[in-house]
Amino acid sequence: MKTNFRRCRGIWRLGILAEILVLLLHASPLPAAAQAPPREPDGADTVRVGLYVNGVPYPGRAVLYQDTTYVELHEFASEVRLCRAEWREKERCAVFTSEGLTLSVPDGAAYICANGRYLWCAPGVFSDKNASYVPLRAAVKAFGGTVEWNADEFAAYVRTTGVPIASGDKFYKEEEVLWLSRIIYAEAGIEPFLGQIAVGNVVLNRVRSPYFPNTVYEVIFDHSFGVAQFSPTENGTVYCVPSAEAVIAAKICLEGYTVSDKILYFINAALARSLWVPQNCEYVMTIQSHDFYS
């Protein structure tokens, strides 16, 4: 344990220096999925859509932005569940509370937090003291319900259950969050948030695949053919304490969000010790310094 601690501390110092160098050499913008939608819900980039809640026409506004249906949360909540709303200026976050539900909407984030559950919100959320715009599906999942899209009518149909989302303490498995967030941090701690999620997707896609072990821990520490599948299990960085961002990325992955359900491998081509993956696998995408393969 002491050896791992010293190793992590040394690697952490080197990581900080490397991150500063990367920032100085190439300032990378936030990924598109983390950008907030227009402040005006009826702007040039939005289109009105039909919305029905429990068979009744929704009296508020619902707009399509970047192929995602958005609603103003306070307006939507008044239709499905009575809530108290509070704006926390210091955190730049709107908080909605009702019986059995605490819902946080950080301004400009790529997710909302409902009862400790992290729900992905591409292409982002916008919130201030006057209004909070969030994707309809995330709002419905938080309050409890289902959404069906009717392309012919260009309308969404919502059915509510009256039972808000189960708490994170009940939904997430502590061991899965621990090891998934650790490997995400070790492999992609200085990558964009979407890149961190993609690394988590690789692990969970392997868990679901018949060709790999069937638990998060076993996938991470898999040494098939005598070779470590993830280098942090060899150099010890997998034991470092993950960042809060890596933990959130892990929880978003465990909620079922994936950038691709096909990706099973990733490499940093500039640092790779072996070219087996690009030579034998199908290329899918690149997110900053990582190439992903199926």
CA angle 200, 146, 35 (to 5 degrees): 50
Q: What percent of the chain has pLDDT over 70?
A: 85
pTM of the shown model: 0.83
pLDDT at 141 over 80: yes
Q: Is 91 helix (H, G, I), strand (E, B) or coil?
A: coil
Output 22 or 172, whichever has higher pLDDT: 172
Q: What are the domain boundaries of the chain? A: 2-28+172-293, 46-169
* Model pLDDT, residue 66: 87
When mean pLDDT is compared across 12-21, 98-107, 123-132, the lowest value belongs to 12-21
Superfamily in which the 46-169 domain is placed by CATH: Copper amine oxidase-like, N-terminal domain (3.30.457.10)
CA distances to 3, 133, 238, 244 from 235, rounded to whole Å, are 11, 43, 8, 22
Q: What phi and psi, each to the nearest 5 degrees, are found at residue 287? A: -125, 110
Superfamily in which the 2-28+172-293 domain is placed by CATH: Cell wall hydrolase SleB, domain 1 (1.10.10.2520)
> Under a CB-based contact definition with an 8 Å cutoff, are residues 95 and 103 in contact?
yes
Pairing type for strands 50-53 and 155-160 reads parallel
Pairing type for strands 62-65 and 46-48 reads antiparallel
CA distance 269 to 273: 9
Q: Could you tell me the pLDDT band of residue 43, with boundaries at 50, 70 and 90?
A: low
